[in-house]
Each structure stands twice: as C-alpha cells, then as structure tokens.
Amino acid sequence: MDSFSLDPYQHTLKKAVSCSGVGLHSGAPVNLSIRPASENSGIHFYRTDLNDRNGIPAHMDKVIDTRLATTIADKEIHVSTTEHIMAALQSFGVDNADIELDGAEVPIMDGSAAPFTLLLKRAGLKKQAAMRKVLRITKEISFTSGDTTIKILPHNGFKVSSEIYFEDSFIDKQTYSLNLSAEKFSKEISQARTFGYVEQVEELWAKGLAQGGNLDNVIAIHWDRQSILNEGGLRFSDEFIRHKVLDLVGDLALMGCPILGHVIATRSGHTQHLGFMKAMAKATDCWEIVEFKTNKNKSALHKVALSTKAIGEQIMPFFVPQHIRPGYNVATVSC
C-alpha cells in the first residue's frame, strides 16, 4: 500500500453490542445496539420504538439541526446527538453497521465517545469482501463563516488539527492535532467530555433542555471561570480542544466514507461542520473518489475512466449527494 495505512477492505462488526443510558436533552432512558451490516450498506440509524424499517443513513444530506448537537432525520423520524458514536465508528474503521435505539437521542453516556469505543473493542471488526471507497482531497478547500475557518488539504491519511479561543483564562487558546487512527483516537480523543458554562446549563434546564445533563456527563465550568464543578477535575489539561476534535471527526463521518486529507479548523462547531461538508461536496474539482484494488505488485495509484452509469452502480447510493453525482472523478488504489 501507499504511505497511508487504511485497510483496503470494508469492515463491519463481528457481533452485536449494546448499551443503555439517557438522552442529554430529554433525560429519557435509551437502549442502543450496534449490529453488523452488509457490505456497501454504510451506517444507518433505526428507531425501534417507531418500528422504523428503512433507517436513516448517516449522511450529511440527512442533517436537519446542528444546535447543541447534530441531528439527522428521514421524513418524521429523527435521531440526535450522533457525533460521538459516529466519531468512534469512523476512527475504528467501521464502514457498515446498523445502530438501533428506542428513543430520539443517542445516549450521552459519560459525555465522551469512550463508552462507544469500548463497545467496538468488545464487538471486534470483521473484514468484508468489498473494497473501500475513499474521498481523497486533491486541492485545498476552504470554508469561512464569521470567526470560523475550516479548510482541508491533500494528505496521505486523515489528519485533524483544531484550535479554539475563549475569552476566559481558564480555557483561553487551545490547539490539538493528530493523524487519526483507532489507537490514537482511543487514547487521546475518545475520553474527552462535552463541556459548558454552569449558567448555560442552567439556561438550558429552564428551557426544558439538557434534562439528562449532570456532572457525570458534562464538564461544568464554574461561574468564576477558574475551575470546574466536576469532582476529579479534567481528564486532560486540554480536554476542551480534544472534545472539539472528537465532534469534528464525528460530524465529518457524515460524508459517508473515509477521507484522505488534513482538516484544519478554527473556532468550529456543529453548524460550521455542516457548512464545510456542503462546501466540500460542491468542490468537485478538488477531490476524487478512490477505490482500492488488489494485486500482487507494488502498490500505486492509477486513474481510471468510468462512465456515469458505472459510477452510479459502484458508489453507495448515499455516498455523494444526488445533485453532484454526475461527472465526479474516480480513481483506484492498488495494494
């Protein structure tokens, strides 16, 4: 293979795994299961409490709300707070899985992705026969919205760099960067918890939101901006930026496939992540679809010419937004 270490084959889980928790905003109990799925099916969310048989594809086109968390929907069925579980699935290389839950929110668990990484480790990965298709960045793509800037550069792997600025001295300016892998995600990112100022949490409570939020699943920053209310303190001195990286990885997983590129984000959140993904989707001259091919020779990248019909047959239906499918570039990776 080339210098990046992405496995050329699609993967699913070896077995189903389950957990229980509460929804961050409803406070309602939620039971969740992650189950193996067939190759080329992608990630789908199913609402078992609504007898949802079609599922919601985990794709940017299905995002309907980015306030406080990322929410996807298909018709009247919706699922919110998808970012933590999607970050875990993406980082562990799960291409195909069915996520079943009996409520409208993915359980918040401890406010991080660590419980989901433990589930995936318990389930194990199963290699499938189908080859992976990857979104490879060939030219820089930039997105700006207010104080937020996000760009992605060509890179042999998936690298994420993020920076935040807060006016208070407790958080201040923090930066973090890493080449994503299952091991690095598990050790450096997955345990970072969601956070907020105490008065923000109180305001949400007054509005009937964050009913499931407490000191077991949210870092509550003290009114004095000098400490947090959680016993035990922070898990990392820079836990805030690490959680921002977690959210960014989870939201970008809604592109529907692995990405080869270096993402650099400043002051970003869920709303800006969606705007950036839309900008990426439209920039068809800045990326190409890479499909792995196997042979016994030394690996190399080979351009191939495929007709629009062939592309439609090979790419997952939700892989690229419908309005930009015709004419995008396709290549193969031999390994």
Nearby residues of 88 by Cβ (< 8 Å), 6 or more positions away: 113, 116, 117, 119, 120, 185, 190, 250
Question: What pLDDT was estimated at residue 316?
Answer: 37
Q: What angle do CA 240, 246, 247 make, to 5 degrees?
A: 95
Q: What is the pTM for the complete model shown? A: 0.89
Question: What pLDDT was estimated at residue 293?
Answer: 77
Are the beta carbons of 230 and 215 closer than 8 angstroms?
A: yes
- What is the distance between the alpha carbons of residues 73 and 151, in angstroms, rounded to a whole number? 27
CATH class for domain 134-334? Answer: alpha beta
For 300, other C-beta atoms within 10 Å of its C-beta total 11
Of 44, 270, 273, 302, the catalytic one is 270
User: Beta strand 17-22 with 29-36: parallel, antiparallel or unpaired?
Assistant: antiparallel
Question: What pLDDT was estimated at residue 175?
Answer: 98
Tokens 């920039």 sit at which residue? 283
**Residue 302 annotated among the catalytic residues of the structure:** no
- What is the distance between the alpha carbons of residues 256 and 253, in angstroms, rounded to a whole number? 6
9-130 CATH, one of 1.25.40.10, 3.40.50.720, 3.30.230.20, 2.40.30.10? 3.30.230.20
What are the residue boundaries of the structural domains of the chain, listed by start?
Answer: 9-130, 134-334
Taking CA atoms, 191 is separated from 186, 195, 239, in Å, by 7, 12, 9
Question: Of all residues in the chain, what percent are helix, strand and coil, respectively (each to 5)?
Answer: 25, 35, 40
Q: Please report, as a single letter, which amino acid is at residue 95.
A: D
Mean pLDDT by 10 residues, the chain (335 residues): 67 98 93 97 97 94 94 95 98 97 97 98 97 95 97 96 92 96 97 91 80 90 89 95 98 95 97 97 94 59 34 37 44 43
